[in-house]
Amino acid sequence: MHELGLMQSVLAAVEESATAAGATRVLEVRICVGEMTEAVVEALEFAFEALSSGTLCEGAKLEASYIKPHSRCRVCGNEYDHDRYHISCPACGSFNVELLAGRDLYIDSIEVELPGDEPVAPTSQGESD
């Protein structure tokens, strides 16, 4: 399961950034995952939960969004979106293509709690003052 190794790197970067910002805890981590990484979001979520125990990220929410593969044909220059299995150029049929997007995995944003932040209590609908 390569998701465990990927998530170790993500958590290390998040912890470093949160610590540098003086955060008391991480509330949410948003990542973007390229479909060509073949990383399974559920496995990333499991790894996040398992590895974040005892860290600033413990209890944080992980949000992941997929990045579609996007390539450019080296023969005719056509740029196009595709899935993981159909990479040939739809214009000329060539397999001589360059993957421009879809193998990415990066942290899009981090939401943290800083010292002095007042916790927001959840309210339920129908609650009156």
Point out which residues pair with 62 in neighbouring strands: 29
Q: Return the amino acid letter for 37.
A: T
User: Taking the domains of the chain in order of start, what are their residue ranges?
Assistant: 2-68+103-113
pLDDT, one tens digit per residue, over 7-64 is 999 999 999 999 999 999 999 999 999 999 989 989 999 999 999 999 999 999 999 9
Q: Which two tokens stand for residue 29?
A: 């981590």
CATH number assigned to the domain with residue range 2-68+103-113, chosen from the 4 options 3.30.2320.50, 3.40.50.1360, 3.30.429.10, 3.30.70.270: 3.30.2320.50
Task: Please name the residue that has the structure tokens 């049929």.
Answer: 93
**Would the pTM of this model clear 0.75, i.e. be above it?**
yes
Q: Is 116 helix (H, G, I), strand (E, B) or coil?
A: coil
Query: Using one digit for the tens of pLDDT, what is the confidence trace for 36-48?
Result: 998 998 999 999 9
Handedness of CA 105, 106, 108, 114 (dihedral sign): positive
